Amino acid sequence: MAILSSTISAWEPFEASLLEWRRLCKRMECLDSSQGIDAESDRTHLGEVLWGIEVKDSGSTPRMLGVCWEWREVIPNVVALSNPLGIQSNVRLKDETGALVTPAKLILHLNAAVSGFRWQGRLVRDAGVHRDMAA
């Protein structure tokens, strides 16, 4: 499942301070999601989610900023990140001194962002619809 993550890979890197990142995360919304069924295992749902925002700076071309992650249904109607260390983004975060944060710190900020997004409800609702149709 790398369809949506390839979208992020195609976007230009986006440098942001930690403060700017937090502000932009509050404005992000779900851009796309994919969903499938784990037919080889326990028939639970799994997929990818892409959240992002188009940033329009004055006088420049709009740029995309996004976050993408894989999820899976751990029990019926409960979804979670498949791999909390596998969150992908085109953001390049800078600390207070203007230096890029380390990969370890970046993943902490990406996890914090994802935990603030309201992404699970729609996926659970969609999984329930697919489950009802299959019954």
- Using pLDDT thresholds of 50, 70 and 90, give the confidence band for residue 135: very low
Q: Cβ distance 67 to 122 under 8 Å?
A: no
Mean pLDDT computed over 71-86: 91
Q: What is the pTM of this model?
A: 0.86
38: left (phi over 0), alpha (psi -120 to 50) or beta: beta
Domain 3-134's class? alpha beta
| Summary mean pLDDT of the chain | 88
Give the model confidence (pLDDT) of 4-33 as tens digits: 778 899 999 999 999 999 999 999 999 999
Q: Cβ distance 34 to 3 under 8 Å?
A: yes
Looking at per-residue pLDDT, the higher value among 108 and 127 belongs to: 108
Residues 6+ away with beta carbon under 8 Å from 104? none
> Is the model's pLDDT at 67 over the cut of 90?
yes
Q: Cβ distance 48 to 35 under 8 Å?
A: no
Mean pLDDT computed over 73-87: 91
Pure H helices in the chain: 3-10, 18-27, 103-116, 120-134
> Is the model's pLDDT at 36 over the cut of 90?
no
